[in-house]
Structure 1
Amino acid sequence: MKFWSGTAFMKTVEMPPVARMLDEAGFHGMLISDHLVFPKEMKTIYPGHESGKMFWPADTEWPDAWVLVGAMAAVTENLHFGNNVYIAPSRPIIEVAKQVGTAATIAGGRVSIGLSAGWMREEFELLGQDFDNRGPRLNEMIQALRELWKGGWVSWKGEYYDIPEMMIEPHPPEPVPILCGGESKAALRRAARYCDGWVGTAYTLDDAEQWITRINDLRREYGREHEPFDFIMGLRDTPSLELYKQAQKIGITGVMVSPWANWERTHSGDQDHLRGTAEHYRASIGDFHERIIDRLT
């Protein structure tokens, strides 16, 4: 079982020192959330909350994922870095290839990317990307990125992207695992057909098992059931050694935890209990290591 920590709602300056603490405590990695802006006037309905509105304050910090990876990689030795999730189709594909390739090089290969089609039209429009075809474009982007990261002369020609032969250096020292998030039928099929894993949100153990079953059924449909595949998600059940043993049995390969956070309070819009300096996180990280990680591994 691999333990990942989220970064949502932390202050940007706290993240590198907390990454060092997690590295020392035996965590496998950190998953970085992604938003470009908080529009003052927004027409798009947020699908992740019953109100249809984003539940976090407008001044919540969402640092650029790949700048942050570079900073955290520089102060850690073993910690891996991924996303939950990165809205890749809102960015130009060459920019994504360049940023991830650079981050993977700096981190010595300790990088994966967790992609999603996204939901906020305003972010796409700000970056000049088509919102309406984002799903099909992401399907093609996944395939194209694998080619663009190979090194040497690379190119891609498809329905949405036509990239002439070029070099994009530095390229990743090894293949970058690509995972997908999202719970729609299209997102689940994307993960099963094109990706190396699926990144979920937070579920009860029973709900998590149902998602795993659905995706594995689709993997069999695409003839990929014997290929390595990661299932990474949070669990809303009370953390315990037994919980994570059960999670392993149903096929979860990575659990996202934030030992200092309360899921219910955070998602009701209360982030006050997350405030503090980086040292604010040390005790809860150490306690989780002693109670769970050290005993499970």
Structure 2
Amino acid sequence: MRFTYAEAMTDPSYYAPLARAAEAAGYASFSVADSLIYPRESDSTYPYTDDGNREFLEDKAFIETFTLIAALGAVTERIRFTPFVLKLAVRPPVLVAKQAMSIAALNGGRLGLGVGLSPWPEDFTVMGVPWERRGKRMDEAIDIVRGLSTGEYFEYHGEFFDLPAVKMSPAPPEPIPILVGGHSDAALRRSVVRGDGWMHAGGDPEELDAMLAKLARIREEEGRAGDPFEVHVISLDAYTTDGVKRLEDKGVTDAIVGFRWPYIKGSDTEPLATKIENLERFAETVIAKVSG
């Protein structure tokens, strides 16, 4: 089992010391959140809170995802960075490929590219991208990012994107794993058919079990049951050694852990020292025991 440290919507100056501390403590990955804008008015609800309220996002400092990863990569040596998740469907995939390849080339391939849709129609509006058929657009974007990141000539002729034969350089030292986030049936299938793994965003444990079972069925149907495949989940089981074993038995490869409830209005008041103490304590009580 690998462990990803998750912290978001906090003081931006905390990220560099937290990344260094997580690396030193033995975490495999550091998650980086993605957010573009906060609309004054919206009918949308947040899909991962009980009441769907989105007000906790207002005035939160979100550093642009690739910018933050580049900065954190410069002050670390081993830990991987995983967008959780990049809103790929609203971005130009050629630019995303260039950004991801540049990050991977600079930091020695320490990037797991978590991607997903956006629950906010306003993200699509301000980026000039239609909300309709966003899933199909996402599929094409993944294909383009994967194709260009090989560093070889690549062309693409789809419904939304049309590329002549082009190449980008430098290519990353290893293929960039594409991890698809989302809880819908379409997201699960997309993670298998087009991705290298799946990212879970939390919720009811029984729902997680059902999604893991469905994921296993899709991998079998698509002939990918024996292929390498990353499964990243948020689960209370990740906080005990017995629970970690249960997750491993279900096919989970990466546990995403955090140590505070982030869905609060207003600023994060938890001191940096407390955050570091919490991540180090977990490393001592869980990571060291399951990895030893």
TM range (shorter): over 0.9
Corresponding residue SS for 1:56: helix
The runs of at least 4 consecutive aligned structure 1 residues that moved more than 6 Å come to none
CA contact (8 A) 1:205 1:237 kept: no
- 1:96 and 1:133 map into 2 onto residues whose CA distance is 20
Residue by residue over 1:43-98, the C-alpha shift from the partner in whole angstroms, topping out at 9 and shown as x without a partner, is 33333334443141411122111111111111111100112211101111111111
Following superposition, the deviation at residue 133 of structure 1 comes to 1.7
| Offset of residue 276 of structure 1 | 4.0
Per-residue CA deviation, residues 208-267 of structure 1 (Å, 9 max, x unaligned), is 332111011011111111111111011135821111121111111100001x31x4xx44
Residue 278 of structure 2 corresponds to 284
Partner in structure 2 of residue 294 of structure 1: 288
Q: Distance in 1 between matches of 2:151 and 2:237?
A: 43
3-state secondary structure, aligned to 2:226:
coil
Q: How does 1:75-94 map to 2 (within 5 A)?
A: 75-94=75-94
Q: How does 1:50-129 map to 2 (within 5 A)?
A: 50-129=50-129
Contact in 2 for aligned 1:178/1:195 (Cα 8 Å): yes
Partner of 1:37: 37
Larger mean CA deviation between 236-245 and 127-136 belongs to 236-245
Distance change (3 Å), C-alpha of 1:271 and 1:26: farther
Q: How does 1:246-265 map to 2 (within 5 A)?
A: 246-258=246-258, 260-261=259-260, 263=261
How far did 1:116 drift?
0.9
Local SS of the residue matching 1:14:
helix
Partner of 1:18: 18
Residue 162 of structure 1 pairs with residue 135 of structure 2: no
Over aligned residues, Cα RMSD in angstroms?
1.9
Report what 1:240 is aligned to: 240
- 1:205, 1:247 within 8 Å by CA — same for their partners in 2? no
Distance 1:257 1:50, change over 3 A: closer
Aligned to 1:159, the other structure's residue is in SS state: coil
Q: How many pairs align?
A: 291
Cα drift, residue 280 of structure 1: 3.0
1:154-193, Cα deviation, whole Å (9 max, x unpaired): 3222222111222323332211001111111211111121
Alignment check: 8 A CA contact 1:151 1:167 kept: yes
Q: How far, CA to CA, are the matches of 1:72 and 1:203 in structure 2?
A: 29
Q: Does the 8 Å CA contact 1:192/1:216 hold for their aligned counterparts?
A: no
Letter of the 1:192 counterpart: V
Provide the rounded CA distance (Å) in 2 between the counterparts of 1:236 and 1:202: 9
Distance 1:237 1:228 in 2: 23
Q: In structure 2, do the counterparts of structure 1 residues 215 and 25 end up closer, same or farther at CA, with 3 Å as the change threshold? A: same
SS at match of 1:155: strand
- Residue 234 of structure 2: SS of its match in structure 1? strand
Contact persistence 1:9–1:271 (CA under 8 A): no
Partner SS, residue 202 of structure 1: coil
Task: State the percentage of identical aligned residues.
Answer: 29
Equivalent residue for 1:209?
209
Task: State which drifts further: 65-74 or 35-44.
Answer: 35-44
Letter paired with 2:109: G
Query: Residue 275 of structure 1 corresponds to which residue in structure 2?
Result: 269
TM-score by length of 1: 0.91
Corresponding residue for 2:130?
130
Q: In 1, Cα distance between the equivalents of 2:248 and 2:51?
A: 34
